[in-house]
Structure 1
Amino acid sequence: MKKIFLLLFLFLIFLSGCVSYEFGSKDLKEYEVEFIFINAGEEYRLDIHKQFENDNINISKYELISIDNDIATIKGEKIVGKNTGKTDIYATLYEKSSKEKYFKKVATIYVVNIQNLNEIKTIEDIQNIKEDGHYILKNDIDLSSINAWRPIEVFSGVFINPDGYKIQNLSVPSRESLLDYNGCNMGLFKLLKNAYIDGLILENVSIDVTDYNYDIAFVGGIASTIHYGVIRNCKVKGTLKSKHYAGGIVAMNTVGYILDCTFEGEIHTIGKEAKAGGITGSSLTTKKSGGKIENCNVNATVTSDHTAGGIVGALHEEENIFNSTFTGTVDGKVHQGNIIGIKN
């Protein structure tokens, strides 16, 4: 709520300032909001002119605004990281020739400050992760002592692994061998909501929910679902089997950014509308709303009773997949493709 009031306040300043300029009439829709990842103390300079070069606007000057100055501040034309978290950057754009001005969101920035991260060293530490906490992995963790992993429900914070530690043996066995346990959304996390995940390495993941008491199940290595947010530099190795959607990184991507990730292993889904993908079973990304898959690599066997894709099972809206490769076998009984199983 604090951020909303701040944004409204800044917008009123924008309206009252620069009285010689009026609202622009052009529909600036060709530019893309930039995603930025920096550490505390680092500076980043946006190239505003390049960002809007396809929008037919002659920018004479611009002013940047950070929605949360505790996360990042503005220093002239530069963004400076301060504390761990996420904030948005807006710009007031002035076009001298037409005396028009525009107020646009130009960037989302994730900042990491090592000094204010909680250390994850044990299984108990992982199980006690808070929804909005900020964490750093500081030890290899073996989950083999947990017969059936119960995913972290909702996570909206920051979790990084800059030192290359591994989380191993995450397992959810078939219900036949575990009659007192049931679930339909599986992964290390259940839901990533505006979260930032960087560098997690999961090895020997084994999830099989094909015989659970649900018509629909979602299985992903990192998470069942990502809704906005970023997963980058993550690696998953294992076998994932689901009754509906499954993906090596996430089962369902809703306007999330999956960058520089890899999956190696096997993915299999059953059911008449089942979707399987090397990175994600289903992906919804648009230029306007955001989200993309970029620089991801898969080496796997991906099979499904319905749709299988080497990178994405079912792609909805725009094809925001860039520089991603698949090696292995794809077999979908209805639809299949080495990159995309089906485009809706």
Structure 2
Amino acid sequence: MKRVYNFSAGPAVLPEPVLKKVQDELLNYRETGMSVMELSHRSAPFQNIIEEAQGLLRELLSIPDDYRVVFMQGGASLQFSMIPLNLLGEGQGADYIVTGSWSKKAVKEAEKVGDIRTLSLKEPFEIPVYTPEDFSPESSYVHITSNNTIEGTRFHKYPDTGRIPLIADMSSHILSEKIDVSSFGLIYAGAQKNLGPSGVTVAIIRDSLIGKAPDTCPTMMNYETYVKHDSLFNTPPTFSIYVLKLVLEWVKENGGVEGMQEHNERKAALLYNCIDESSLFHNPVPEKNRSLMNIPFSTGNDELDADFLKGAKAEGFEFLKGHRSVGGMRASLYNAMPLEGVKSLVDFMKKFESDRGGC
């Protein structure tokens, strides 16, 4: 069966060499006589897997020595609760910059724990530059969603929070472009977009933010639990961590984060240029805030959008339907999406427009 071009926002396309490696090792991982799915998380082979995964992530992102890398479950959605449970003491609060649907969900969970102040956008698709004066001096941290999967926006410049720790949900663009980890107190990401399959969540935490949870914080919601036990307090998502390690190896073999960024900028430019030059398709995001990963577009006509999606599926382009809250189409161009997939999509878009007389 021919593989399709998978433009899903997540779970997303994985590198084909990684899938083939998984296939090769599925029944017998490195002569253990077992699949990784059968290995004890306490065994030496799995210990090597998780240590290699941590080391690769540190290398690729140039993570400083005073940060810990932990693997958890629950996705970014669980982090919405873990962050305030760990970092907000009694009577304390935090600032949340609301740039889209996922940051709204993060606020909803944080409000159950502490006093949350929200900073909302004046224009829905334009994210301004923030300085320390924008935040409450008493804030325990500032939270952002650095790339908005649904809206197709991103920060073109990260907030300057001064002494206040900056925390970022980077689920949909981690490893896609260079970042300075030392600018953040905590970075977290669900794996199912750029890091690997669903089931594992990565958190990169500065040492100074560990051990702050009150005694009432549940053990499995406390970052210190994962740090003290090297992410092995309980059985972790072993197979997902194994595939994540293979994805990290693939990223390293293909130029690291710098190579991914160059690759992603080429793909995004190709699709954005097609949209901008079209008289049929439209993208609402100002150029400076356009995401490299998630590109929404539409014709402005629901019936025409439906025709486009039907034709695209017939041509082997999957999961292009936009999020139900915004409609239209959305192409997610994560690291593993090949340039050929974007070129083929652009060719189809041009043909679709031509067939309809440039309407």
TM class by shorter-chain length?
under 0.3
Normalised by the length of structure 2, the TM-score is 0.25
Higher RCO (Cα < 8 Å, 6 or more apart): 2
Q: Which has the higher helix share?
A: 2
Normalised by the length of structure 1, the TM-score is 0.26
Q: Which has the higher strand share?
A: 1
